[in-house]
Chains A and B, each alone.
Chain A
Amino acid sequence: MKKIIAITQIITVIIAICIAPTVFAGGYRVSLQGQQAQGMAHAGTAMSDSSEVVYFNPAGMSFLNSDMQVTGGLTLIDAVTKFQNENTNTSEQTDNPIGTPVSLYATKKYDDNLSYGLGIYTPYGNAVEWEQDWAGSHLVNDIELKAIYIQPTISYKINDKYSIGFGPTYVLGSVEFNRNLSTSLSDANGNRSNVTLNADNIGAWGYNVGFLAKPIDKLSIGVGYRSKVVLKARGENADFENLPGTMQSAYADTTFDANLVLPAELSLGFAYKLTPKTTLAFDFNRTFWNAYTNLDVQFDNAAGTSLNPRNYEVSNIYRVGLQHVINEKFTVRGGMYVDKSPIQSGYFTPETARNDSLGLTAGASYQMSRNLGIDLSFLYLTFDEFEGSYDYYDQSGKLVSFGGSYITSVYTLGLGFNYTF
């Protein structure tokens, strides 16, 4: 009977959170870098109980109990954005492919003080597919952005209370982006003129550095910093379609140059053991989105340079997560976070037309055997509907605005494993 009441209380809390005013954010940041952390609102900067620390805080490797551990996981993302304009009775919704970010981490102790490891993860990405030639097609028809981070890492335990960690990251980025060339240009038969940008496997370097302190047994404090990475597309393919015949020579398929910024992120985290079995974690992430000033594309034909100001702002994410070890087999997790939008008013483009968001997470781990555990995570990211527009689309020297009401919802379901040697 007591347990039923507990479930009822949990549901009540969830309902209350649902009703609270909420609004996702984060541009094209995808915070799904570890199944265990995902269960507790992705608050992992001060946690040090799985090899997921390679991502969350490299210094944490020094405080892992096991000599060697491998953690991996796959998350399915189902995201839908709806657009409507009440004045014109138009509505659209995205038909996005299911996103599948993956992560894989391995750590190994070299000696009492030195640990090393490797992480492969995908912290940035985007997959948005609007109906071809929809009302905002001059801004985007569809986009798919992928960035795989590969990070060899070392950490050093200075003493029983402090450790530091560092890893260089090699990033492999790919982007495919299609949009119409203007709000109206078409060929003689009315097929809208459009361009597809395609860049595969652009390499770039960055780093991940962290510091972890355990001033008292119950408390951990972590600080992490992941550097900015700039994907520089040079001489990549630009495919122009459906140009009027007389313009085809000027707009022949060509190459393009563009820079895509994956911004730096500073994290500060606290983890406190309320009881030996229950840990409460707080994370604060500050993402330096101000580096994303524009997405200018330079074409090597008559299209010239396409100026696309973004002018994102620095944004913060506040996370709180709870982990409870029920017994040696079961661990459950829950959490919530508030992700503030980096997008300024007037800069809401339909490829990332998202506002502030509230994320609700739940997770569980089950220890199958002494070595192998499986991790499950669930995230619901809720956004309030909002009126937004992009006011800086340049058509023949004139700024043209596009906007309406947007609402987005995201579900993710993650499955992972952890193996200790």
Chain B
Amino acid sequence: MTPKKNTIIKIAAIFIACAVLLACKSDFDNPVGDDSSYSNGDADFSNYVAIGDSLTAGYADAALYQSGQENSFPAIMAKQFATVGGSEFKQPLVNDNLGGLLFAGRENTDYANRLILNAETQSPEPIEGTPTTEVLNLLSVPVNNMGVPGAKSFHLGIDGYGDPAGLASGTANPYFVRFASSTSSSMISDAISQSPSFFTLWIGNNDVLSYATSGGVGLNQSGNLDPSTYGYYDITDPNVFASVYSELVSAITSAPNVKGVLIGLPNVSSIPFFTTVPFNAVPLNQETADALNAAYATYNGGLQQVLSGNPDELALRTISFSAGQNAVVITDEDLSDLSSYGLPSIRQATENDFLVLTTSGKIGTLADANNPNSVWGLGTPLEDSDVLIASEISAIATATSAFNSTIKAIADANSNLAFVNIDTYMQQMASTSGISYGTGAIHATYATGGGFSLDGVHLTARGYAVVANATIDEINTSFNANIPGVNPGDYTTIFIK
């Protein structure tokens, strides 16, 4: 019996040895999630608060909806911060993936559901469904993501910007109403009361973009130092911006050892809302061109008489159609006012004009359903709100540049602050090569490029991943940290009906 027993023991020993000794080999030498390879550097991510507007909130497809919030750039970064001492990142999540808001139970067309792309019509439309996010259901907890869609720089310091009583008059913002700590608090006071150890501030987009997306119907308030007199679609005065921005940053960084990243503003020339609709894409046959030329003969003839001393404006304003692709007719309030001669301020668009995205559904349709000659862009000139003309584009560029200089100067002056020049990333996204992420590239092209959501202004989850990576890169550089980026390819783009 003894030899047999020994043999059994021997065989069992070999098997156990194989199982136990080899089991240890089945993992990576440096498994991710083992935090030793990452480092927080000089920064403390234990309480990260993100302050900003729609781009901080994760707004996309013309709405704030749950999966957009979950993929907001601060939420993406907070996940990566978790490897270097970050803690839970609370967001004021809306109630659904539709994104529309209810005000005391009522829907509001200004806060409609998110857009999805109808593959048949090739155009965006709001997703069907009844929104369930009631603005007046106030969240009572402080949130780390303090992105408030629609907020401008000077809104952040306004007390009562989250007071439900101010909704009707427009002094309050429904997105801030949802999570303001009290009816009298301001965004910045709520941020400071959370004692952030780290923050991002991306504000100022709406100080110029609201003007741009409205086709420049607002005013350039350069020189007006009283923001309380501004309309929503106006451009903020650069001095107002500088003083407000500097106060905001001083307030947040007044506590010791708070570090943060200030994010600059993109230029409109890289945003598909302004670059998608071509100025000259109206196809005409000879017959239609002739008829349109005849219709504008009186206008052209009038110009000949009145502008004989100004050949440049005469050439710019003379309207001429031919068979093939034609430029649309637009309203240009910068032209000499010839209304006393019965001549409207109109001309054909040039490559220097930006037609806004919403004109894609307007050009070619009838302005007056009973008048077949009233086609928008042909018989009926497009309106001021449909197009950014050269002077408007210039005002936008000047303001953007001034705001960016301010932001960068404030960041440069404080070693606890880093600056992300987001415009370089946006320009790269708008370039032919796009932003490469290893498994593909992100482009700014509307609907197909992957970077911009269907509203043409806000980013997709994938686009927000690019912002998160850019910011993490800057944190790594400025604060000696080693925080992993994300693969933008893992994030969603647009949604198709």
Contact = CB atoms under 8 A, between A and B. Distances in A.
Given A14-B21, A362-B14, A409-B26, A184 B97 contact: no
B496 interface: yes
A216 interface: no
Nearest to A361: B18
Interface in A397-421: 398, 400-402, 405, 407, 409, 411
Contacts of B97: 189-190
B362 interface: no
Contacts of B492: 184, 186, 190
Nearest to B12: A364
Interface stretch (A50-58, A79-87, A311-319): A79-87
A90 B496 contact: no
A330 interface: yes
A7 B440 CA distance: 54
B230 to A, nearest CB: 38
B413 interface: no
B439 A183 contact: yes
B10 A360 contact: no
Given A89-B80, A246-B120, A188 B497 contact: yes
B476 to A, nearest CB: 12
B240 to A, nearest CB: 40
Nearest to A407: B28
Contact of A186 (B15, B26, B439, B495): B495
B287 interface: no
B495 A87 contact: no
Contact of A86 (B18, B22, B30): B30
Interface in A170-190: 183-190
A135 B32 CA distance: 15
A278 to B, nearest CB: 15
A385 B15 CA distance: 24
A90 B28 contact: no
Contacts, number: 141
Contacts of B10: 3, 6-7, 332
B15 A86 contact: no
B83 A82 contact: no
Contact of B493 (A184, A187, A244): A184
Contact of A364 (B4, B11, B119, B462): B11
Contacts of A411: 19
B311 interface: no
B29 interface: yes
Interface in B313-338: none
A362 B440 contact: no
Interface string A1-44: 00100110011001100100000000000000000000000000
Nearest to B119: A246
Given A183-B440, A184-B492, A246-B497, A87 B485 contact: yes
Interface residues of B, number: 50
B25 interface: yes
A90 B465 CA distance: 14
A3 to B, nearest CB: 6
Contact of B490 (A6, A90, A395): A90
B471 to A, nearest CB: 15
Interface in B120-145: 120, 127
B116 interface: yes
A330 B7 contact: yes
B490 A7 contact: no
Given A88-B485, A184-B450, A400 B32 contact: no
Chain A contact residues (Cβ within 8 angstroms of B): what range?
A: 35 or more
Contacts of A186: 492, 495-496
A184 B439 CA distance: 12
Given A87-B484, A88-B486, A135-B487, A329 B4 contact: yes
A199 B484 CA distance: 42
Contacts of B28: 82, 84, 385, 405, 407
A379 to B, nearest CB: 9
Interface string B444-473: 000000100000000000100000000000
Contact of B17 (A10, A85, A382): A10
Contacts of B257: none
Given A398-B440, A409-B25, A84 B495 contact: no
B495 A80 contact: no
B14 A360 contact: no
A405 B118 CA distance: 39
B31 A91 contact: yes
Contacts of B306: none
B3 interface: yes
A244 B496 contact: yes
B438 A401 contact: yes
A205 interface: no
A40 B158 CA distance: 79
A89 B18 contact: no
B13 interface: yes
Interface string B105-125: 000000000001011100000
B11 A187 contact: no
Interface string A346-364: 0000000000000010101
Nearest to A329: B4
A354 B119 CA distance: 40
B162 interface: no
Contacts of B495: 186-190, 244
Contact of A15 (B21, B37, B450, B485): B21
Nearest to B116: A188
A246 B118 contact: yes
Interface string B399-439: 00000000000000000000000000000000000000011
A327 interface: yes
Contacts of B25: 18, 382, 409
A245 B497 contact: yes
Given A11-B21, A332-B11, A244 B497 contact: yes
Interface in A294-338: 326-327, 329-330, 332, 334
A378 interface: yes
A186 B462 CA distance: 14
Closest 5 CB pairs of A and B: A409-B26, A244-B496, A89-B484, A246-B119, A88-B487
21 contacts: A10-B13, A86-B37, A87-B487, A88-B484, A88-B490, A89-B33, A135-B487, A187-B495, A187-B496, A188-B495, A188-B496, A188-B497, A189-B495, A190-B492, A246-B497, A326-B7, A330-B7, A362-B18, A364-B11, A380-B18, A409-B26
